[in-house]
Structure 1
Amino acid sequence: MTEITATPEPTATSPATKRQIVAWAAWDWGSAAFNAVMTTFIFTAFYLTTDIFGGADYTSQVLGLALGIAGLLIALLAPVAGQRTDHSGRRRLWLGVNTLLVVLLTASCFFVLPEPGYLILGCALLAAGHVFSELASVNYNAMLLQISTPKTIGKISGVGWASGYLGGIVLLVALYFGMLAPGVDFFGLDENTKYRVVALISAAWIAVFSIPVLFAVPENPRDPAEPKIGFFGSYLHLFRTIARLWRTQRHTLYFLISSAVFRDGLAAIFTFGAVIAVGTFGFAKGDVLIFAIAGNVVAAIGAFSAGYFDDKWGPKAVIVASLAGLLISGAVLFFGSGKTVFWVFGLLLCLFVGPAQSSARTFVGRLAPVGGEGELYGLYATTGRAASFIAPMLFAGFIAWFGSQRWGILGIMIVLLAGLALLLPVRSPART
């Protein structure tokens, strides 16, 4: 298939040192505290959406609304935020500022007391954390092009994704066995207070591992010929960029659309995986946490190893192979039953998720023009948010239609299949 060649390849001004790569990946390691601990497993699942705050149905509804508003804000702000840091030469600065806000919002969850009246506060803090975490990731992803070359971008991106998974594992294990497991006495604290302390530990984790990248990777240079643009003027510039891409690099827009769809399916695997494990395959809470740890290990292995294939054959080949593997594994889970089936093919799902996520990021990096990296990654974040309702709606809709949670698996598979179908005609980015 014809390759996209109109856009310059990503290039680093000089070969990145191992210190820079490790420092960059450490940010991903630290961010796992918010993604895995606060919003996926411990704080949200075991504390904020429990009967303490009004029952799972009501609390999930409130949390979903808060995160929906957050998603809308991300969709509106991400491309402009990336564009402005491209032009101002302050990518590292805004990575630090947005990360600091995530740290403060995460720590503030300590003040969410176990009373129904604090539900709104907890949901608002997590939603705001999502907004600033995504804005930080726009700058973080764009920084990938400062420390990689066309021959190493896949490997380095895989290292980052793997670090994120492994960071989540280490913190989950430490929190569970050192603090939350039944019978563990943690300074005499009751269970609810332990969950609030988890927020403080998570905030410290994010802060500590976010510091290295702010010192190791230099600030992106500002183009002195680039005129300063006001905030609202940035949106006019954004629309002009989209129009230009439509005229000259239409397949870049095609990829953004296709990736938005299949990334929604990838997110749904993690969002609803624990729910399916319990409701369809009979897992207990402890089993789910153990599977989560194992799943993150497997996903890290997949993301790390996929970097080699990404650099060798290109990101599109890796994404297509990963989506095919996900569809096959999902089909077995849809028709299968029992814990053993879920352990085997659920872990296979995790194995393929990591490569698809990592190579989607490198696909954008290989398309990004010099000086426009942040803006394109901002569009990447925006299109992802714009499609983020598809998988949850199909998951819930199939369950409602057929009266069984198992049919929700089919809803997720349809999203992955649609993303694959939209990706196949997209031209691969040029490689050197």
Structure 2
Amino acid sequence: MSLIRRYPPKAPAPRREIFGWAMFDFANQAYTLLIITVIFGDLFTRVIVGDGPDYRLGNLLWSVALAVSYGLVVVLAPLAGSIMDATATRKRFLLGSWLLTVVTTGLLYFVEPGLIWFGMALIIASNFGYAIGESFIASFLPDLGPPERLGWISGLGWGLGYLGGLVATAFALGLLGEVTEDNFDRIRWVGPFAAAFFLVSALPTFLFLKERGTRRQLARRVQLGLGWRRVLQALQRLREDRALRSLFVSIFFLMAGIYIIIAFTFIYGSQVIEWDESTRVTMFVITQITAIVGAIGFGWLQDRAGPVRIYRLTLIMWCLAVLAIYATPTLADALAALLGRPVEAQEVFLAVGAVAGLSLGAAQSAGRALVAIMSPPREAGRWFGFWGLAAKAAAIFGLLGLGLLQAWLGLANAILFCLVLFVIALIASAPVRTPDHIAGV
């Protein structure tokens, strides 16, 4: 059982506040999809760096830029979370991360072919703001309802997030067109578009989300000292609490694999599967819709079948998804022989994308809800700071590992690294147990 002290159950927050909280997920998915996954990542590797035909340097530099931004989160998220708990300033920290992401994302318009270091600097800054903002917004989750409702609330947030990504990217792809050098003057507007979407869509968060606790005005030096003391206390508690420690270890390996999938899926489709533009757009729609279903559906299941049981199920789903990604060309050949007609790898990849999308929404929602369930609300900033540390340290490990492996083995073979990560995450989850008053194991 977790050694973290529990507080009496509470009623759910008003629907308006839950909606405002979930709208931040809706808003920030425009950044992660348009900039990291679908458009700018492909633009950076194939046009800004442009080291075809295999783009190994571009892929490696993209991994490095993301890893540096996540490294900043690893260092600062636990400290910021501890300061937020002590001073009741979570909303102020969230505001700062939001504005940093909006401004630096808008400036991506000025990144032209050959301006590699300028592009990397803006990606580091914007992705840092986005990534640490994930920890800040997640720290509000324990305030929004009793533990037995948090799976559903977390799933609602992730589901709205994928809906937001679907809306933003559908408009962007329709307005901006393909990622090609000839279309650069239009596609470069992806930065300002993503920034504007994030800016406007997150406004309900700051209008409706409440800051709980009594704000304390402390000098900056005092805040830093208090923050570091709380971080050290949390580390001591992690040494004593096997269940919580095991959860963070499992989340580390889970998120290492997920960040690889997020950053390289569309690069993989372009370079390995060699899909056409229509398949690329279809893949995006399929993964977003299935991610919505996975987040909301598995969030509902988590509150009924047990949060740990559903979390482990999502890890098994990920293992199957990665095997299917790797075996896509082989599966296409097997289907062609079975059906007696040609079957393209990109057609099979669409089906694989549905499994991956379902796993993506389910796993992220389940992991976040588990941290909320096992963390007292009065210490939510601190523990979600460690959640951010685990996730972003995982991103560094995963992205650099994949970047180096694909430079050595090629991207098609290196993707099996994700399978290893998800298997380790499943094994690491064995000691995880929720408090006795939560259903399931």
The normalised TM-score by structure 2 is: 0.87
- 1:303 deviates by 0.4
Equivalents in 1 of 2:8, 2:224: separation in Å? 27
Choose which of 316, 331, 355 in structure 1 pairs with 2:323. Answer: 331
Partner of 1:199: 191
- 1:410 deviates by 2.3
- 1:59 deviates by 3.8
Q: Give the counterpart letter for 1:243 in structure 2.
A: Q
Equivalents in 2 of 1:278, 1:109: separation in Å? 22
Equivalents in 2 of 1:357, 1:151: separation in Å? 17
* Residue 252 (structure 2) pairs with residue 246 (structure 1): no
Do the aligned partners of 2:246 and 2:432 also contact (CA within 8 Å) in 1? yes
Q: Give the counterpart letter for 1:245 in structure 2.
A: L
Distance change >3 Å, CA 273–CA 211, structure 1 → 2:
same
Distance change >3 Å, CA 260–CA 245, structure 1 → 2:
same
Partner of 1:186: none
Q: Give the counterpart letter for 2:71 in structure 1.
A: L
Equivalents in 1 of 2:234, 2:271: separation in Å? 46
Query: After the TM superposition, which residues 242-281 of structure 1 pair with which residues of structure 2 at under 5 Å, given as runs?
Result: 242-247=235-240, 249-281=241-273
Equivalents in 2 of 1:159, 1:73: separation in Å? 28
Partner of 2:350: 343
* Residue 15 (structure 2) pairs with residue 24 (structure 1): no
Partner of 2:45: 49
Q: Give the counterpart letter for 1:360 in structure 2.
A: G
Distance change >3 Å, CA 51–CA 268, structure 1 → 2:
closer
- 1:31 deviates by 0.4
Distance change >3 Å, CA 295–CA 10, structure 1 → 2:
farther
Unaligned 5+ segments in structure 2 are: 333-344
* Residue 206 (structure 2) pairs with residue 214 (structure 1): yes
Equivalents in 2 of 1:115, 1:43: separation in Å? 12
Do the aligned partners of 1:161 and 1:304 also contact (CA within 8 Å) in 2? yes
Equivalents in 2 of 1:103, 1:400: separation in Å? 32
Equivalents in 2 of 1:26, 1:241: separation in Å? 30
Do the aligned partners of 1:158 and 1:358 also contact (CA within 8 Å) in 2? yes
Q: Give the counterpart letter for 1:244 in structure 2.
A: R
Poorly superposed stretches of 4+, deviation over 6 Å? 223-228
Distance change >3 Å, CA 158–CA 9, structure 1 → 2:
farther
Choose which of 125, 136, 139 in structure 2 pairs with 1:139. Answer: 136
Distance change >3 Å, CA 361–CA 429, structure 1 → 2:
farther
* Residue 6 (structure 2) pairs with residue 8 (structure 1): yes
Equivalents in 1 of 2:176, 2:410: separation in Å? 36
Equivalents in 2 of 1:225, 1:115: separation in Å? 47
Do the aligned partners of 1:108 and 1:125 also contact (CA within 8 Å) in 2? yes
Equivalents in 2 of 1:204, 1:42: separation in Å? 16
Equivalents in 1 of 2:45, 2:7: separation in Å? 45
**Greater alpha carbon shift after TM alignment, 272-281 vs 81-90:** 272-281
Q: Deviations over 1:353-380 (max 9, x none)?
A: 2111101001100111231101100111
Percent same amino acid at aligned positions?
23
Partner of 1:425: 431
* Structure 1 counterpart SS, 2:427: helix
Q: Deviations over 1:321-351 (max 9, x none)?
A: 1111222333344344323432223311211
Do the aligned partners of 1:101 and 1:132 also contact (CA within 8 Å) in 2? yes
Distance change >3 Å, CA 399–CA 191, structure 1 → 2:
closer
Do the aligned partners of 2:243 and 2:432 also contact (CA within 8 Å) in 1? yes
Choose which of 389, 392, 410 in structure 2 pairs with 1:385. Answer: 392
Choose which of 407, 413, 423 in structure 2 pairs with 1:407. Answer: 413
Equivalents in 2 of 1:42, 1:398: separation in Å? 23
Query: After the TM superposition, which residues 132-211 of structure 1 pair with which residues of structure 2 at under 5 Å, given as runs?
Result: 132-180=129-177, 191-211=183-203
- 1:239 deviates by 1.4
Q: Deviations over 1:215-234 (max 9, x none)?
A: 11111213779999431442
Partner of 2:337: none
How many positions carry a matched residue from both structures?
418
**Greater alpha carbon shift after TM alignment, 18-27 vs 374-383:** 18-27
Partner of 1:106: 105
Do the aligned partners of 1:86 and 1:220 also contact (CA within 8 Å) in 2? no
- 1:119 deviates by 2.3
Equivalents in 2 of 1:10, 1:31: separation in Å? 32
- 1:151 deviates by 2.2
Partner of 1:96: 95
Partner of 1:314: 306
**Greater alpha carbon shift after TM alignment, 220-229 vs 194-203:** 220-229
- 1:163 deviates by 1.1
Do the aligned partners of 1:154 and 1:307 also contact (CA within 8 Å) in 2? yes
Do the aligned partners of 1:363 and 1:429 also contact (CA within 8 Å) in 2? no
Q: Deviations over 1:352-411 (max 9, x none)?
A: 22111101001100111231101100111112222334444554566577x564433322
Unaligned 5+ segments in structure 1 are: 183-189
Do the aligned partners of 1:78 and 1:134 also contact (CA within 8 Å) in 2? no
Q: Give the counterpart letter for 2:29 in structure 1.
A: A
Q: Deviations over 1:19-70 (max 9, x none)?
A: 2222211111110121010122112312x32344453444444333332222
RMSD of aligned Cα (Å)? 2.7
Equivalents in 2 of 1:399, 1:110: separation in Å? 29
Do the aligned partners of 1:366 and 1:430 also contact (CA within 8 Å) in 2? no
Distance change >3 Å, CA 224–CA 170, structure 1 → 2:
closer
Query: After the TM superposition, which residues 356-367 of structure 1 pair with which residues of structure 2 at under 5 Å, given as runs?
Result: 356-367=363-374
- 1:276 deviates by 3.3
Distance change >3 Å, CA 120–CA 181, structure 1 → 2:
closer
- 1:178 deviates by 2.9
* Structure 2 counterpart SS, 1:368: coil
